[in-house]
Structure formats: C-alpha cells, structure tokens
Amino acid sequence: MGLLDGKVALVAGIANKRSIAWGIARAFDREGAELILPYQIPRFKENLAKLLPELARPPLTVQLDVTDDESLASLQKAVAERYDAVHVLVHSVAHAKPEDMSARFLETSREGYQFAQDVSAYSLTALTRALYSQLKAAGRASVITMTHQGSVRVMPGYNVMGVAKAALEATVRYLAFDLGREGIRVNAISAGPIKTLAGSGVKGISTALHATLERAPIPENITTEDIGNAAVFLASSWSERITGTVLYVDSGSHIVG
C-alpha cells in the first residue's frame, strides 16, 4: 500500500529528467498515485516521452501554457473528461527573462517584471482555479508549489525571481485561507540549490551548491528525490492539518546567517 493509492495527481513543470517536478512525479508514482503530466512545448513533450517508461502507470499527458487562459481551459476539459476528482496539484513552474536575471535588479524592465510574475506567481492561482471543481470534488485535496529562499533574503543573481517567489508565497497564504473550508490545503516547498534546467539560469548556482556543503547544518546538497519525498508528505493524509505554510527542504541552510 502506497501513501497515495487511489489519488489522482497533476504535476506541472517537467522539462527533463533533472526537473524537480519529475522527482515529485516519480515519488508520487512510487506511492501509487495516478498522474496527469502537462508539458509546455513540443521539446518538453519529447523529453517527457523518454521518461514515461520509468513510471508504473501510464499518465495522462496534455499540453499546457499557464499564461494562456484558453490552454488552461483545454487542460480543465481534458482532465474532467477522464477524472471526476483531482486530489493533488503540484505547481513547479517558474521563468524569467535571462536579461532580468543577469542585470542589476534596478534594471528590471516593466515587461520582464510582469512576465516573471505571470509565469511564476499568478499561474498558481490560474491553475488552481482551472482545476477548482476537481479539487473540491476530491473532498480533501492538496495544492503544492515550489519556492526558494530568495523570496525572503537577497540572493545575488536571483533578482526578479526572488520578488516573484515572494508573491508566490503570499499567494499560498491567500489561497489557503480561501479554500481551507472546502477541504483544499495549499502549501509550498522551499528547495535548496539544485542543478535543474531552471537553476542553471541563476547566476551563482555553483557557489550556492558549494555553500550548502560548507555552511548548512546538514552538509549535503539536496536532490530531486528529497523534494519528491517532501511532496508525498504534503500530498498525503499525513499533512491534513497543514496549510498556508512553507516547508524548507534545504539541509537547514535557511537557519544560517
């Protein structure tokens, strides 16, 4: 018996085998969940197709652009045609323009700021709203998003993404308040530095990885498997009284000054 037997889980944000979202999907599959795996662009669909043989059960795959309302409506229709309820929604989606990540924060363009907020923060609200009926039908559902310590502390090179993650964490709290009486809990996982496609775009990622080994209470870098296991906890009945919170999975780095 797995912790997620009988549950349907949508995991958004898989780009390749190094994605945090893929680590979560594998952990959910291990624990018995039936998966819905959106992909953003054809290249990611090809990457995803290569990974699917690792899963115990074939997932539903569907294209999704979280910035496009028609795409969100298409996702909702595809999910509703197959499932009456969705028990878990994982939002592992974030992006910013490269020039806004590499320049001084002062130089962030209006367009770049709005883009980072739309993709990385507002999309949690949009995706949750698109699947609201299925989440409510689950009786007790869990929404999980991915954040970073750059939301509360200045992390050189994180820039506009840090501001977007701060907005994302505020979104978690407001959604948790809105949806708690309907049995839907909303939480975030704050992951330590990890080598992913998104992480590679952050200036100083190698320094951050080395700093964890030098300064963290647990001198070990985290893996996508670590994040997957934490997500299983938040998706399972073991966390039914936890909502509106940020769970740090960073070897304790966030407590070190």
On the question of pLDDT at 214 being above 80, the answer is: yes
pLDDT for the residue numbered 209: 77
Residue-averaged pLDDT of the chain: 94
Give the contacts of 170 (CB within 8 A, at least 6 positions apart).
none
> Can 165 be counted among the known catalytic residues?
yes
* Segments of 101-183 assigned E as strands: 141-147
> Can 136 be counted among the known catalytic residues?
no
Q: At what angle do helices 123-130 and 69-82 cross, to 10 degrees?
A: 40
* C-alpha span between 143 and 186 (Å, rounded): 5
* C-alpha span between 19 and 195 (Å, rounded): 9
On the question of pLDDT at 176 being above 90, the answer is: yes
- The pTM (predicted TM-score) of the whole model is 0.94
pLDDT band at 206 (very low <50, low <70, confident <90, very high): confident
CATH label, 8-252, candidates 3.40.50.720, 3.30.200.20, 2.40.50.100, 3.50.50.60: 3.40.50.720
% of the chain residues with pLDDT over 90: 87
Tokens of 103: 């320049």
Catalytic residue among 17, 136, 158, 203: 158
pLDDT for the residue numbered 194: 86
Catalytic residue among 39, 83, 165, 203: 165
